[in-house]
Amino acid sequence: MLETKELVFVSGKGGTGKSTVATLLARDLSQRGRSVLLVELAEQSSVQALLQSEKKPQYQPQASGFGFDWCRLQGRDCLVEYVSSFTRLESVTQKFFDSALLKTLVNVAPGLNDLSILGKLTSRIRKHGPAFNYDHIVVDAPSTGSFLSLINAPVTLGKSVARGPLHSQSMGIDKVLKNPECTQFFFVSLYEELPMDELADTLTEFKDDYGEQIRIVMNKALNVSEPAKTSTTWSHFLQRKMQEEQKQGRRAQELWPKGFQLNLFTESFKDFICQDRGEVLRPL
């Protein structure tokens, strides 16, 4: 397995299996003896459904039961924690954050929510603000369109004010995101036309700024070596699927040879993850 950095964002087109890949990556890393935090950002937890867990992810990390810890971040919570760590006046801070004023502020500075999340995720590396202490943080990030605006938040916000603390914080966060020693981006795709189209578009957007930090993950590979030779609707279907997989596989090699493959698993995710089969993300 390729070396994995401290901060890993997993994104990709909707429906390609971002949460699945993020969870498996967290599991693989924790099996190597690293301490790992899996972070969700969406309001509805996908990981909870995948793990069939009774618990909902909270702001404070908790054990997932699968070797890694797990939490869900919202911009507002990150911002409250950050400000509290400076003012040391929790009750007053809380009052302020409940006020209409802050709601307005967070809305007016659209990147502020995103920036607060990125600030929290990079705190340990920047040695600034309350940090998560893990060897790896794996982020189940939004799908590609929203992800681009999340990752660009420090630059856009930094540009809207030329000086001051907000500007310098933004620049610091951006530096960590663009540092190949700290951060990696995994983009998940399928052996199908539309997801590959979107992957190509995403790579065009990201490669100039994040080139060597990018890995792709080709998900739901059939991994059939020799199909049975029958003349059934099944064998026609399988042959067509395999041809498509070869075609899109060649396209993936041309687009971005650095990455992983994950086979389609035929059991439930929970059954799959409970079996000990070593690292399931294999180099392409």
Q: Which of the residues 118 through 177 are near another protein (CB under 8 A)?
A: 142-143, 145-146, 149, 153, 156-157, 159-167
| C-beta neighbour count of 7 within 10 angstroms | 25
For another protein, the closer CB: 135 or 192: 192
For another protein, the closer CB: 62 or 239: 239
Task: Please report, as a single letter, which amino acid is at residue 211.
Answer: G
56 lies in the site for another protein, by CB under 8 A: no
Total residues interacting with another protein, rule: CB under 8 A: 73
Interaction residues for another protein, span 99-118 (CB under 8 A): 99-105, 107-111
Look-up of token digits 């599991």: 27
Segment interacting with another protein (CB under 8 A) among 36-44, 53-61, 131-139, 173-181: 36-44
- The strand order across the sheet containing 282-283 reads 62-63, 69-72, 36-40, 136-140, 7-12, 183-190, 214-221, 259-263, 282-283
- Which residue from 1, 2, 63, 92 is in contact with another protein, where contact means CB under 8 A? 92
Cβ-proximal residues to 278 (8 Å cutoff; 6+ apart), any chain: 31
For another protein, the closer CB: 15 or 283: 15
CA nearest to 17, candidates 271, 264, 284: 264
Which of helix, strand or coil describes residue 207? helix
For another protein, the closer CB: 165 or 278: 165
Nearest 10 degrees: Cα torsion 193, 197, 202, 205: 170
Interaction residues for another protein, span 190-229 (CB under 8 A): 193-195, 197-198, 201, 222-225, 227-228
